[in-house]
Amino acid sequence: MKNRLEIAREFLRDDGVIFVQCDDNEQAYLKVLMDELFGRENFVVNFIWNHRKSGQNDIDFTLSHNYALTYAKNRQNFRLNRIDANIERKFSNPDNDPRGNWTADPFDAPDESANCNYPIKNPNTNEIFYPPKGRHWRFSKDKFDEVLADNRIVFGKTGKSKPQYKRFQFEAEQRGENVNSIWLDCDTATRGTQEIQNLFKSKIFSTPKPESLIKRIIEISTQPNDIVMDFFLGSGTTAAVAHKMNRQYIGIEQMNYIESVSVERLKKVIEGEQGGISKAINWQGGGEFIYFELAKFNQKFIDKISDAKAEDILNIYDEICEKAFLNYDADSKILKEKKDDFKELNLAEQKEFLINILNKNMLYVNLDDIEDENYEISQKDKELNKDFYNE
């Protein structure tokens, strides 16, 4: 992870932020590594996501959470956005207050204040309450009398406990809510699996994240048109959610399923699929994306070797001797002379030998070598790269 995180940090804007998800086994080690790479002063928060409903039964506890370690490129330049994602779930109206849904906040606040230290009588029980030690009531006595008359003071669900302050949903919507560090309201991993199954009619990916989780991350850390990057794209959840939320995005994946899963998922998003967060944000489809692959060089020989049958392998052997970049200890001239020895190997051994002699630093074509005729880059691809890199 270290080298990938080092590179990831270079991609961040000065006001950028990175989220790295892990489980309980690796969280402590990852925190130390990221402190080293990003600086402890740039640590933002370690979000906790309830990723299982029932939990995983271990020896003597139930493991049901994962982490999202969050670091800024420069903490002084980054601030999490306020959100309203939890508002409807947190607010209700049990007393039919005409001002609408509300939630009960504590009426006491940190530190002591002489003007805000007075007795409050519970009118239902006549019990007298004072602020807890080291705290004070949030308002002066005169202000308390005003909000009490305004029906903004409650005494718990049963009316028998200490005073609490009514905060209305419309007020929270006007100014937003600080995001909580524990995410109990995001969907679980099971929901992510269901979303993929609904799209592709089968369980084609083992650990997809639910769209609501990625929505939470994007809405607390970005604005419309910001760039979101996921360099472990997987099933494409990040790209799908970023597309629906009007963000630019870059998704990177080295596995072949990017074509059959990630790309196909984005096509469905553009068509207006109604899974995941689509209904919650009124997604109607539209937009576009561009899909690129790295230009292969030695990788194309590895692909041929992997798919080869016995009758193909000698032709591949000859082609590698003529065209491939070999390791420093492999001489094409000697290889040609030893072809008969190669024939004596079984197919599995032949494949292993050929893959081992290829230079793994030359799997793909470097941009600086794009004009080299040995790489056989088409004129169309040359022009595409010039446009992409603004050359």
Same domain? 64 vs 92: no
Q: Which of 218, 236, 271 is the last residue of a domain?
A: 271
For the entire predicted model, the pTM comes to: 0.72
Whether 200 is in a domain gets the answer yes
Same domain? 64 vs 190: yes
Same domain? 33 vs 108: no
pLDDT of residue 138: 92
Same domain? 169 vs 225: no
Task: Tell me the pLDDT tens digit for each residue of 160-219.
Answer: 999 999 988 777 766 667 788 999 888 888 999 999 999 998 888 778 899 999 999 998
Q: Are the C-beta atoms of 160 and 129 separated by less than 8 Å? A: no
Q: Which of 175, 201, 225 is the last residue of a domain?
A: 175
pLDDT of residue 51: 87
Q: Are the C-beta atoms of 264 and 320 separated by less than 8 Å? A: no
CB neighbours of residue 176 within 10 Å: 13
Same domain? 72 vs 191: yes
What HEC string does the chain produce?
Answer: CHHHHHHHHHHCCCCCEEEEEECCCCHHHHHHHHHHHHCHHHEEEEEEEECCCCCEECCCCEECEEEEEEEECCHHHCCCCCECCCHHHHCECCCCCCCCCEEEEECEEECCCHHHCCCEECCCCCCEECCCCCEEECCCHHHHHHHHHCCCEECCCCCCCCCEEEEEHHHHHHHCECCCCEECCCCCHHHHHHHHHHHHCCCCCCCCCCHHHHHHHHHHHCCCCCEEEECCCCCCHHHHHHHHCCCEEEECCCCCHHHHHHHHHHHHHHHCCCCCCCCCCCCCCCCCCCCCCCCECHHHHHHHHHHCCCCCHHHHHHHHHHHCCECCCCCHHHHHHCHHHHHCCCHHHHHHHHHHHECHHHCECCHHHCCCHHHCCCHHHHHHHHHHCCC
Same domain? 191 vs 168: no
Lowest-pLDDT choice from 42-46, 96-100, 382-386: 96-100
Alpha-carbon span 176 to 179, nearest angstrom: 9
Same domain? 368 vs 303: yes
CA dihedral 237, 243, 247, 250 (to 10 degrees): 60
Q: Are the C-beta atoms of 109 and 47 separated by less than 8 Å? A: no
Whether 277 is in a domain gets the answer no
Task: Tell me the pLDDT tens digit for each residue of 233-272.
Answer: 999 999 999 999 999 999 999 888 888 999 999 999 999 9
Task: Tell me the pLDDT tens digit for each residue of 85-106.
Answer: 555 567 788 888 888 888 899 9
Q: Whole-number mean pLDDT of the chain?
A: 91
Alpha-carbon span 106 to 84, nearest angstrom: 20
Alpha-carbon span 383 to 377, nearest angstrom: 10
388 pLDDT band (50/70/90 cuts)? confident
Q: Is the pLDDT of residue 108 over 90?
A: yes
Residue-number span of the structural domain to which 76 is assigned: 2-80+183-271
Whether 283 is in a domain gets the answer no
pLDDT of residue 59: 66
pLDDT of residue 53: 76
Whether 386 is in a domain gets the answer no
Same domain? 66 vs 195: yes
The listed range with the strongest mean pLDDT (26-40, 166-180, 198-212, 371-385) is 26-40
Whether 380 is in a domain gets the answer no
pLDDT of residue 313: 96
Same domain? 76 vs 95: no
Number of domains comprising the chain: 3
Whether 220 is in a domain gets the answer yes
pLDDT of residue 45: 97
Task: Tell me the pLDDT tens digit for each residue of 285-338.
Answer: 999 999 999 999 999 999 999 999 999 999 999 999 999 999 999 999 999 999
pLDDT of residue 171: 77
Q: Which long-range contacts (CB under 8 A, 24 or more apart) does 257-261 make?
A: 257/204, 257/205, 258/233, 260/204, 261/196, 261/200, 261/204, 261/205, 261/235, 261/236
pLDDT of residue 207: 80
Same domain? 193 vs 229: yes
Task: Tell me the pLDDT tens digit for each residue of 46-86.
Answer: 999 998 876 555 567 778 899 999 999 999 999 998 776 55
